[in-house]
Amino acid sequence: MQKDIAPHSLEPLAMLLSSVDCSEFLPQLQACLESYFPCIDLVLCRFYRHRSPEILLHNLNQQQEAATLHPYCAGMYQLDPFYQHWLARPAAGVFLLDDIAPSEFRRTEYFLTYYTGLGLHDELMCFFSSNTDTTLAFSLGFYRPPPHSNGRLLSDKMGYLFPLLQALLEKHHWQSASALHDDGARSGEFLDERLSEREQQVARLFLQGHSAAAIAEQLCISPGTVKNHRKNIYGKLVINSQAELFQLFLRQLGVE
């Protein structure tokens, strides 16, 4: 039997509509979504192709903000499968983590640290623009188990609301002054002068959760060549695991 995904009331949407031309629109958007998704943790940001994300709105507590948003904007976003998905396929829509993440993502240190380690449950992302240079990105997740954890149902309900929310966001003048100017500053790339350009590329793909086979297909090389690159990366950096590679990445970002 299909579950009802329609909102229980239109009042939160009506209040959101009434504030579309006001400075209180984003806080009202937060209140609207919290009404429809109790216990939800929200982060609204603007993704850029050539610079770090800009956080526009969130309802995380101070500890969660320090542990997630600060390192994320410092460079961890480069390992985020949602961000990588948007770079490759910029399109509006609602996306579940398991539908877009690389095959090995749940084994990465990024996942173990920022999902398992912090207790993040059932994340999905909404992109509100198909612009190839920038988009509004809305993350919905739970840092505590919700009463009825069902990522697919969460996605279906958000998909139901998405067209209206997208229309309201387009009507609202949400661009900040900094959002209108791309200064070209980019952070978060794994760069080490001991590695060749190809080795740095392979290291980033491993950190993002791509398997050796997927990296080989993406770079048009053999899986054996990918494994040789990994061996050379570990040898040059004097490390023995992806966990140590991840720690080098964090040290580079200054967010250990």
- Residue segments in the chain with a per-residue pLDDT below the cut of 70: 1-3, 145-149, 173-191, 256
The pLDDT score that the predictor gives to residue 211 is 94
| Structural domain 197-253, CATH architecture | Orthogonal Bundle (1.10)
Per-domain residue ranges of the chain: 11-174, 197-253
Q: What are phi and psi of 177, to 5 degrees?
A: -60, -45
Quick one: which H or E segment has residue 155? Answer: helix 151-171
The pLDDT score that the predictor gives to residue 148 is 58
The pLDDT score that the predictor gives to residue 77 is 93
Phi/psi zone of residue 7: left (φ > 0), alpha (ψ -120 to 50 degrees), beta?
Answer: beta
* Residues counted in the chain: 256
The pLDDT score that the predictor gives to residue 181 is 46
pTM summary value? 0.87
| Structural domain 11-174, CATH architecture | 2-Layer Sandwich (3.30)
The pLDDT score that the predictor gives to residue 31 is 92
Tokens 């500053």 locate to 185
Inter-residue contact 210 to 102 (CB < 8 Å): yes
The pLDDT score that the predictor gives to residue 179 is 44
